[in-house]
Amino acid sequence: MSARGQKVQQARPNKNQLLAMYETMLLIRRVEETLMEVFSAGEIPGFLHVCLGQEAVPAAVAAHLSQDDYIGTTHRGHGHALAKGVDLNLFMAEIYGRANGYCLGRSGSMHLADAGHGVLGANGIVGGGIPITTGAAFACAYKHPGRVAVCFFGEGASSQGAFYESLNMAALWKLPVVYVCENNGWAEFTPQSVHMTVADVAQRARAAGVEAEVVSNDVLAIHQVAGRAIARARSGEGPFLLEVKCNRWHGHFVGDAQKYRGKEAVAQAMSDDCLARFEQELIGAKVLTAKKAKELDQEKREAVAQAVEFARSSPMPQPGDLAEGLYL
Amino acid sequence: MSARGQKVQQARPNKNQLLAMYETMLLIRRVEETLMEVFSAGEIPGFLHVCLGQEAVPAAVAAHLSQDDYIGTTHRGHGHALAKGVDLNLFMAEIYGRANGYCLGRSGSMHLADAGHGVLGANGIVGGGIPITTGAAFACAYKHPGRVAVCFFGEGASSQGAFYESLNMAALWKLPVVYVCENNGWAEFTPQSVHMTVADVAQRARAAGVEAEVVSNDVLAIHQVAGRAIARARSGEGPFLLEVKCNRWHGHFVGDAQKYRGKEAVAQAMSDDCLARFEQELIGAKVLTAKKAKELDQEKREAVAQAVEFARSSPMPQPGDLAEGLYL
Amino acid sequence: MAEIRYILAVGQAMGEEMERDPDVLLLGEDVGAPGGSFGASRGLLERFGSRRVVDTPICEASFLSLAAGAAACGLRPIVEIMFMDFITVCMDGMVNQLAKMRYMFGNQYKLPVVVRTPAGGGLNAGPQHSQCLEAWFAHVPGLKVVMPATPADAKGLLKSAIRDDNPVLVVEHKALHAMKGEVPEGEHLVPIGEARVCRQGGDVTVVTAGRMVHEALAAAAELEAEGIGLEVIDLRSIQPWDKQTVFDSVAKTHRLVVAHEAVKAFGFGAEVAAAVGEELMDELDAPIGRVGAPFMPVPFSLEQAYLPGAVQIAQAARQAAQGGF
Amino acid sequence: MAEIRYILAVGQAMGEEMERDPDVLLLGEDVGAPGGSFGASRGLLERFGSRRVVDTPICEASFLSLAAGAAACGLRPIVEIMFMDFITVCMDGMVNQLAKMRYMFGNQYKLPVVVRTPAGGGLNAGPQHSQCLEAWFAHVPGLKVVMPATPADAKGLLKSAIRDDNPVLVVEHKALHAMKGEVPEGEHLVPIGEARVCRQGGDVTVVTAGRMVHEALAAAAELEAEGIGLEVIDLRSIQPWDKQTVFDSVAKTHRLVVAHEAVKAFGFGAEVAAAVGEELMDELDAPIGRVGAPFMPVPFSLEQAYLPGAVQIAQAARQAAQGGF
Ligand SMILES: Cc1ncc(C[n+]2csc(CCOP(=O)(O)OP(=O)(O)O)c2C)c(N)n1
Ligand SMILES: Cc1ncc(C[n+]2csc(CCOP(=O)(O)OP(=O)(O)O)c2C)c(N)n1
Ligand SMILES: [Mg+2]
Ligand SMILES: [Mg+2]
């Protein structure tokens, strides 16, 4: 993490920063894989949306954020929360609906929030988080100068009026917000072509007067543009939209058999592996060795296994606790 | 009015067509002046929004429409309804809230509708009419090929998400709808600069994948672009947005003293007189004589006076009629 | 009669009505090739094509109002709102446009729009995917609101709704989607506004709708052993609701419990209880019991502890049976 | 004590609270230089500048949710929704976000947002500018709902709302804006959730709120001549509502009428009547009367014939006074 206001974010990441991003991606990968497993095994009720294949975005963007910056995210929000630094055990306990989870087990995966790390919440309403996160940026401009808000969402959400309305206000008031659209080509079971006429969400942003840029699912490319966008926002130059063209590896939610999507298309999607690519790059650049990668992987696997154990052995909320805290 | 599907609309209007537009503008002018008067005198309750200074748009656009095309309009919708050919007496009776008004006196000025002329209604909700009119275009494409829907609204409304969402669907499904934005620079008491970052609503449209063009408050210019847009729509080429930069001569509603707007700015606005300009042009082109203009004016004044008399002498609804027709 | 699932009955109703009337069409997110999030429209795209089974972008506010406009111009759209919670996004269309267009325009337009939406808990889907908001719509003149509790009603009420020239909100219950039941073949229409006495009983009337009908029946079975006879009324329609059937039953049992899954406070049970209290109080031998969810959002965890059901209904009915003045 | 208009009392409350706490700010359409559509914020822009008196674009859905996000991050926004009818546009923000964020996030965030909105008829503004929709919000756990009936309460309730760490919907009534009344100077707070007995009487309790309080008082004056004593209770808050005060009064008068301007069916009166019927039925000597608007949109013409008022309250109270079992 970098000092505020300075434009260091635009510099190429140093070795430690590269490794930190790699570790974040690795952690997200392992968490999501594990969640798929335990969810499929029936350990977790409700809906679960994983971001496998899309790990580069949270890692690269959050690399520019401090603990007290804000993020708002969506139903597919595990990666963003993890990258922002939430405690893995409390995160897992919440997804398991336990009393000691971040939200006392009331939110589960779909509404997970952590005030301590500025995670304003996943949101079950598509587009619902965009104006809320824009409001966080409003508060930054008003009360917490130097802080920024980052708003994650999908290309499907960009058809909601809330997207357009929020960008207009952000542009109008030069709010310190960076919109990050993970364009994975699918909204539930429907491909982008069915619900958008323009190819890029970036084009939609420009219409609202917000500068925008499109990058591929490459962690360093994302890191670079995000750095510039966040630095701009911190220094009061207003909002920016970063669109990342990526792929959703799996179904919309865990359990979605994807009958609407050909096997080949899925294989094609899964060939876009931002983590494997980054690993090769780091090894090639001698920032990482295969051995170190293995060690790190082992470390993450253990941390995730431990968090699952923590969640499993955590208490369920008590019916008597349900009413607590509706009003202050 | 022109035959469907043929591209005659793009031709320059002939003498009769020019005169018809002139008469429409004149009628709207006289109706609105009279309504201001009788409203100020307390004859009509509620809110009344007049379109003085903006008469060119309805006249020029409706010149390309048949009776069974659809229009949707706003709180400032008298001109559009009149240009579409509603009966002046029934129109006036509705504004007076009489039992024989188009809507049995239930809608007044702000929700006036006339199914017989495809007037889908003024709308009290800013932006509310945009998706509804887009739905009319959907019905045209589905069931009434060759018909189009024209959607009138202001630049203020273009900040509502409904605007953006509707344009996206219209572009996606190539609906036969022409969006006509009367950009009069004001939304109630607030100028455009306070709520929009982009200068043109047209830019917003392009972002949604809808072609757009900006013209000045000149009836022939509007007529030309509208003709092209409507012909395109009729032939299945999809939606278009036409933005007209015009001026609101008076307050937001009748009775608004416009303290927020300098006297000079008002004088400046009122110097943009699309009707007077058109009259001079027609006289210059020998399509009209000053004498004929006077006669027409007299004719319109009489028609309006008669309509007011008709409305005044029409019966109020009876309390017993109130419940009629909530459900079929 | 065939035994079919509730969700299939919904699909049959849509398919039959689309077959019958080319103006009927379906709009919603993922309703096309995927057949809808819950599978209601499975097969319809293949049968009717993409002009009539229309996948929308994610913009409930506008595609709902678009349907209103299309209806005014001669179509009969069915709109699927994937979860009832998302209807918050299109309340202007529901309330200021769809509900009012017919009346405020002096009967010039018909508004044959059906809005189908799955409500309620049971999937542990949390606070933004589990709400029962029907009471809002019952408070809005111009809308009709039905809540089918069985596959037969899911089909029969939906078909009636599609043929109605007024906007009708059809509130399905997610927890009933997989339920099987007998559904009459062929022309099966259930009139809107007629309740169904689904169990006769002499001691306490239980008025309810949707999923809670089954909970009431379970409570009735339980109380039978205790010698308390419940008369269970499935309202089917919340707006308009069948006062006569309710009043007739209360005139017989003199005791009433009203039950729904929605939050108890300000729910539709309040209206039923208030109407009985206003017009039929002298028939009552005990206070009117009300059952509904506690006053809080639907939590992700402990959903089952949160949701009202047979236990609460039985308790309220027991109290009504014993209570008196 | 000064006599000031209701709308000025609203402005005073905002001005004083903005003075007291720099985190309080105002967002809405035309709230800046024009001072708001009804003049509530007149002078505030001059005093507090455009960072704190923020003119928004016309996009209720998003500026309301923006306020929710800003509140979670430490601000205390007041949001003006110009007419209550327009709140339909921002129901997702109201219901799925603002109301639930505190609870569903396990108390991690405070949500001190005040939503001020003028409701009701009286201006002949027609079906889309005259609605009373408070019952919807009272049905949503997480929101508080107040309806000030006097200038003093307009100020005192709004000040309490601004200091509340929960979202509060303040429903002003357009027809009261010009009303004058005594307003205590200085620190004047009216607690949320406490009703006011605004007239004592022994025969019939009338429970109401907002504009209808004045109609109830007019009815009371009229019935006094007939020898019927009305006890008029101004609920002030609809959610939470002051059961104790209502129950105490009913225990005294044994007769109850509930009155509001909103459509009668499924209005807040249903909840009050149902609660009394449920918990206090043995105290009642007559059926509970309910007064509300008829089941139709508010028409442009004949608004006065449509709106319920003193006549209907007097009639219901007379009936309650005479009625029995
Ligand atoms: C208002 C609303 N409408 C619909 C849904 C159902 N839904 C959940 S996720 C989703 C698709 C979102 O697509 P996108 O924004 O691209 O995000 P992704 O799932 O690809 O990450 C939809 C339609 C919802 N949750 N909220
Ligand atoms: C949803 C909604 N928000 C706010 C209003 C109040 N309002 C009525 S007209 C208006 C301004 C509209 O401006 P514009 O669209 O430019 O139309 P114009 O009045 O200039 O013709 C506003 C804010 C409304 N009627 N509906
Ligand atoms: Mg996507
Ligand atoms: Mg304007």
Closest CA to C147 of C19, C262, C47, C58: C262
Task: Describe the crossing of helices B88-95 and B15-40 by its angle, rounded to 10 degrees.
Answer: 20
Contact D217, D313 (CB under 8 A): no
3-state SS, residue A263: helix
**Helix (H) or strand (E) run with residue B167 in it:** helix B161-172
Mean pLDDT score, B188-212: 93
Q: Does the domain at residues C196-322 carry the CATH identifier 2.170.150.20?
A: no
Q: Which residue has the tokens 């009371």?
A: D220
- Distances from the Cα of B38 to the Cαs of B303, D92, D254, D300, in angstroms? 15, 41, 52, 17
Annotation says D173 is catalytic: no
- Residue A7 scores a pLDDT above 50: no
CA-nearest residue for atom 5, ligand 2, is B126
Q: What is the pLDDT of residue B1?
A: 34
Model confidence band, residue A2 (pLDDT cutoffs 50, 70, 90) = very low
Model confidence band, residue A318 (pLDDT cutoffs 50, 70, 90) = very high
Q: Which of residues 267-296 of C touch A (CB under 8 A)?
A: 294-296
Q: What is the pLDDT of residue A8?
A: 40
How many domains in chain B? 1
Q: Strands D76-80 and D24-28, how do they pair?
A: parallel
Q: Do domains C2-183 and C196-322 have the same CATH topology?
A: yes
Closest CA to B74 of B140, B119, B37: B119
B161/A159 touch (CB, cutoff 8 Å), yes or no: no
Tokens of C94: 């529901």
DSSP code at position A114: B
* CA distance, residue A278 to nearest chain D CA (Å): 35
> Is C226 exposed, middle or buried, given 0-12, 13-18 or 19+ CB atoms closer than 10 A?
exposed
Model confidence band, residue A323 (pLDDT cutoffs 50, 70, 90) = confident
Q: What is the pLDDT of residue C325?
A: 61
Distance, CA of B83 to CA of B22 (rounded, Å) = 11
Q: Strands D24-28 and C289-293, how do they pair?
A: unpaired
Average pLDDT for chain C: 97
Query: Is B97 in the C-facing interface, judged by CB distances under 8 Å?
Result: no
- Distances from the Cα of C280 to the Cαs of A116, C139, D287, in angstroms? 56, 22, 8
Q: What is the pLDDT of residue B207?
A: 86
- Residue A103 scores a pLDDT above 50: yes
Distance, CA of C275 to CA of D205 (rounded, Å) = 18
Closest CA to B76 of B28, B38, B43, B116: B28
Q: What is the pLDDT of residue A5?
A: 37
| Active-site residue list of C | 129
Q: Strands A186-187 and A190-191, how do they pair?
A: antiparallel
Distance, CA of A36 to CA of A42 (rounded, Å) = 10
D103/A114 touch (CB, cutoff 8 Å), yes or no: no
Query: Is A99 in the D-facing interface, judged by CB distances under 8 Å?
Result: no
CB contact set of A294 (below 8 Å; sequence gap of 6+): none
Contact B121, A127 (CB under 8 A): no
Cα torsion A76, A78, A84, A90: sign = positive
Q: What is the pLDDT of residue B328?
A: 60
Q: What is the pLDDT of residue B10?
A: 56
Query: What's the pLDDT tens digit per position in B166-187?
Result: 999 999 999 999 999 999 999 9
- Nearest residue in chain B measured CA to CA from C58: B165
The CATH number covering residue B219 comes to 3.40.50.970
- Residue B6 scores a pLDDT above 80: no
**Helix (H) or strand (E) run with residue C177 in it:** none
Q: Which of residues 116-135 of B touch D (CB under 8 A)?
A: 123-128
Collect residues with CB below 5 Å from ion ligand 4: B 154-156, 184, 186
- Residue B7 scores a pLDDT above 50: no
Q: What is the pLDDT of residue A324?
A: 75
Query: What's the pLDDT tens digit per position in A55-90?
Result: 999 999 999 999 999 999 999 999 999 999 999 999
Query: Is A174 in the B-facing interface, judged by CB distances under 8 Å?
Result: no
Domain of A56 in residue numbering reads as 15-314
Q: Which of residues 39-68 of D touch C (CB under 8 A)?
A: 61
Q: Which residue has the tokens 């339920």?
A: C179
Model confidence band, residue A208 (pLDDT cutoffs 50, 70, 90) = confident
Mean pLDDT score, B113-121: 98
Contact A254, A191 (CB under 8 A): no
3-state SS, residue B109: helix
User: Which CATH number, 3.40.50.970, 3.40.800.10, 3.40.190.10, 3.10.129.10, labels domain D2-183?
Assistant: 3.40.50.970
Per residue of chain D (325 residues), give pLDDT as tens: 789 999 999 999 999 999 999 999 999 999 999 999 999 999 999 999 999 999 999 999 999 999 999 999 999 999 999 999 999 999 999 999 999 999 999 999 999 999 999 999 999 999 999 999 999 999 999 999 999 999 999 999 999 999 999 999 999 999 999 999 999 988 999 999 999 999 999 999 999 999 999 999 999 999 999 999 999 999 999 999 999 999 999 999 999 999 999 999 999 999 999 999 999 999 999 999 999 999 999 999 999 999 999 999 999 999 999 987 6
Distance, CA of B137 to CA of B159 (rounded, Å) = 22
Query: Is A146 in the C-facing interface, judged by CB distances under 8 Å?
Result: no
Q: What is the dihedral of CA B288, B291, B292, B295, to 10 degrees?
A: 150
Distance, CA of B137 to CA of B151 (rounded, Å) = 10
- Residue B244 scores a pLDDT above 70: yes
Give the number of the ligand closest to the Cα of residue A159. 1
Q: How many residues can be counted in chain C?
A: 325
- Distances from the Cα of B313 to the Cαs of A217, B89, B112, C317, in angstroms? 72, 11, 20, 61
Q: What is the pLDDT of residue D148?
A: 98
Asked whether residue B38 is assigned to any structural domain, the reply reads yes
- Residue C307 scores a pLDDT above 80: yes
Quickly count: other Cβ atoms within 10 Å of residue D180's Cβ. 14
Distance, CA of A218 to CA of A224 (rounded, Å) = 10
- Distances from the Cα of C53 to the Cαs of B294, C7, C40, C168, in angstroms? 56, 17, 12, 19
Query: What's the pLDDT tens digit per position in C156-212?
Result: 999 999 999 999 999 999 999 999 999 998 899 999 999 999 999 999 999 999 999
- Distances from the Cα of C205 to the Cαs of A146, B103, C230, C325, D21, in angstroms? 63, 44, 6, 18, 55
Tokens of D270: 């249903």
Query: What's the pLDDT tens digit per position in C14-42?
Result: 999 999 999 999 999 999 999 999 999 99
Among candidates A110, A160, A319 on the partner chain, residue whose Cβ is nearest the Cβ of C59: A160
D166/A140 touch (CB, cutoff 8 Å), yes or no: no
Q: What is the pLDDT of residue A10?
A: 56
Q: What is the pLDDT of residue D185?
A: 85
Among candidates B106, B130, B142 on the partner chain, residue whose Cβ is nearest the Cβ of C51: B142
Percent of chain A with pLDDT over 70: 96
- Residue B62 scores a pLDDT above 80: yes
- Residue C111 scores a pLDDT above 60: yes
Contacting subunits of C (3+ beta carbon pairs below 8 A): A, B, D
Q: Which site among D88, D266, D302, D319 would you substitute to test the C interface, given the most C Cβ atoms closer than 10 Å to its Cβ?
A: D266
Q: Strands B190-191 and B186-187, how do they pair?
A: antiparallel
Asked whether residue A19 is assigned to any structural domain, the reply reads yes
Q: What is the pLDDT of residue D183?
A: 97
Q: What is the pLDDT of residue A15?
A: 96
Asked whether residue B328 is assigned to any structural domain, the reply reads no
**Helix (H) or strand (E) run with residue A70 in it:** strand A70-72
Average pLDDT for chain A: 95
> Where in chain C are the domains?
2-183, 196-322
Mean pLDDT score, A200-217: 95
Residue D2 has, within 13 A of its CA and on its CB side, a CA count of: 10
Mean pLDDT score, A234-241: 98
Contact B38, B305 (CB under 8 A): no
**Ligand 1 site, CB within 6 A:** A 75-76, 124-126, 153-157, 184, 186-188, 248, 252; C 29, 58, 60, 82, 86, 89
